Amino acid sequence: MAEWVDVCALDELDPEDVMRFDHGGRVYAVYRSENGTPYATDGLCTHEHVCLADGLVLGEEIECPKHNGRFNIRTGAALRAPVSVPLATYPARISAGRIEILI
Amino acid sequence: MVAIPDPQLRDYSLTGRDTIRAKETGLANAEWYHTEVPRKVMKELMKRRDGPAIRDTLIWFALLGGSAWGGIAFWGTWWAVPFWFVYGVMYGSVCDSRWHECGHGTAFRTQWMNDVIYHIASFMVVRNPVSWRWSHARHHTDTIIVGRDPEIACMRPPRLFRLLMSYAGVLDMIDSIRTLLRNAAGRLSAGEKDYIPESEWGKAILAARVHVAIYAMTAAAAAGMFAGGMGWASTIPLLLIGGPRIYGCWHMLMTGLIQHCGLAENVIDHRLNSRTVYMNPISRWIYWNMNYHVEHHMFPMVPYHALPKLHEVVKHDMPPANPSIWDAYREAIPAVLRQARDPGYSFRKPLPPTAQPYKEVPTRG
């Protein structure tokens, strides 16, 4: 059953940035959009298993650092070749000054 | 009797013996070495801007338009020659770097601008805009991995005559047109099918048909002008469209061939298989700073206008850059000539004491 898992303090992740979060043997990417809203997705690109946390957040999009493919961080939709398979997304929230994700 | 393949011979196809070997040894889709750069610095370097690429594109279009005007206005006099020279380079060489950067999606911040210039430049460089997007992604995943990288320019043993002739642009143009016609006829090679997802095959065929239609119209215009008694002036449509990919590609080849030639194959450290070369400002503008080629391969999300800054940040961990194009050729030509006798040879640059050692063995996850 999914549960809210603590990721980090809010000020550890800047707006329009991403960080890697490892939990239960899986890699996640946790984001804050330009307006500070937190989001979470699988941490590896669906194209070739590259860590998305090394990529660039542009508004509500994450760009893979290897081939510049892009996903929407809110919906996980694949937006730009060479990615074509969407990312899994997870609910994220701010609670008592900390970012949590539901996984 | 079973024939044992010569280990010196390589199979550069994407579905052959070396493909299997690359997968078995972990060279395919491996984890590559990269220099540690603090996240804040990297974020700043990755930042996208429209300004530099808009400026450069306006200059490019102005030079294209101005030189085409001069070539036509002074037709029949020697004054036309320098105009066609400039037009040829603006078309046949600049197109390559614009194709490349806009294909990465890093030249402009605004994506539709990247896409528009990517399609224009793909047409000019005679590359299928769909298939080459995927081929270049593979080139970045498996840079100079034999059997995996579809963009290896200097195969071993080198075909020296072909390398020399590539400067004239004819052989490359013949290959490109042949591929375009094959794609337009609805056929993709085994290699293309390997790196292009099936969902994109139809798009690749459509793009080829559009390109072929434009070339057919250009040839028809030239034929019509010739039939109308315009003599040598009937070549103008061909000098404007398609032709510059032959007579103006020399700069693209001059800068492109030193990216990897003479360096290592089958390694997982871009410092071993790519070359950073200092160049004059005009060549850097034409080439959009791809002379910082190790840096580009290590961090492909850094836009061309930030590569000089990235170079300063990581150069403590890099082999020394070649100080000039001439110096890069002085390094590459002997290495390629030696590869004609010994295909296993590659030139290996020493690292400075401040650098991490080369990463040469694939680590499997």
Residue type, B143: T
pLDDT band at residue B133 under the 50/70/90 scheme: confident
Domain residue ranges in chain B = 49-141+170-241, 153-169+249-298+314-345
User: Tell me, what DSSP letter sits at residue B235?
Assistant: G
B219-247 core/surface letters (b: 16 or more CB in 10 A; e: else):
eebbeebeeeeeeebbebbbbbbbbbbbb
Q: How far is A68 from chain B (nearest CA, A)?
A: 6
Judged by CB atoms closer than 8 Å, whether chains meet at B300 and A67 is answered as: yes
Statement: residue B6 has pLDDT above 80: no
Judged by CB atoms closer than 8 Å, whether chains meet at B301 and A49 is answered as: no
Judged by CB atoms closer than 8 Å, whether chains meet at B43 and A48 is answered as: no
Model confidence over B269-316: pLDDT tens digits?
Answer: 999 999 999 999 999 999 999 999 999 999 999 999 999 999 999 999
pLDDT band at residue B170 under the 50/70/90 scheme: confident
First to last CA, chain B: 39
Judged by CB atoms closer than 8 Å, whether chains meet at B133 and A17 is answered as: no
Q: What are phi and psi of B39, to 5 degrees?
A: -55, -40
pLDDT band at residue B226 under the 50/70/90 scheme: very high
Give yes or no for A26 touching B (CB within 8 A). Answer: no
Chain A residues lying within 8 Å of B23, measured CB to CB: none
Averaged over B250-271, what is the pLDDT? 95
Query: What's the pLDDT at B255?
Result: 96
**What does the angle CA B24 – CA B27 – CA B32 come to, to the nearest 5 degrees?**
150
Pick the range with the lowest mean pLDDT from A19-23, A67-71, B265-269, B347-351.
Answer: A67-71
Closest-CA residue of A relative to B134 is: A82
Q: How far is B101 from chain A (nearest CA, A)?
A: 11
Q: Which of B122, B124, B147 is nearest to B203 (CA)?
A: B122
**Distant-in-sequence, close-in-space partners of B185: CB < 8 Å, separation ≥ 6:** none
B84-107 core/surface letters (b: 16 or more CB in 10 A; e: else):
bebbbbbbbbbbbbbbbbbbbbbb
Model confidence over B54-113: pLDDT tens digits?
Answer: 999 999 999 999 999 999 999 999 999 999 999 999 999 999 999 999 999 999 999 999
Give me the helices (H) in chain B, please: 17-24, 39-46, 51-73, 80-92, 94-104, 111-124, 131-141, 160-165, 170-184, 190-195, 201-227, 236-240, 244-247, 250-256, 270-273, 281-287, 293-298, 307-314, 325-341
Judged by CB atoms closer than 8 Å, whether chains meet at B43 and A17 is answered as: yes
| Assigned CATH topology for domain A4-102 | Rieske Iron-sulfur Protein (2.102.10)
Statement: residue B2 has pLDDT above 70: no
Pick the range with the lowest mean pLDDT from B17-21, B139-143, B194-198.
Answer: B194-198
Domain residue ranges in chain A = 4-102
Task: Say how far residue A62 (Cα) sits from the centre of its chain.
Answer: 8
Chain B residues lying within 8 Å of A63, measured CB to CB: 105, 301
Instruction: Tell me how far apart the alpha carbons of residues B162 and B140 are, in angstroms, rounded to a whole number.
Output: 25
Query: What's the pLDDT at B363?
Result: 54
Query: What's the pLDDT at B124?
Result: 97
Query: What's the pLDDT at B362?
Result: 66
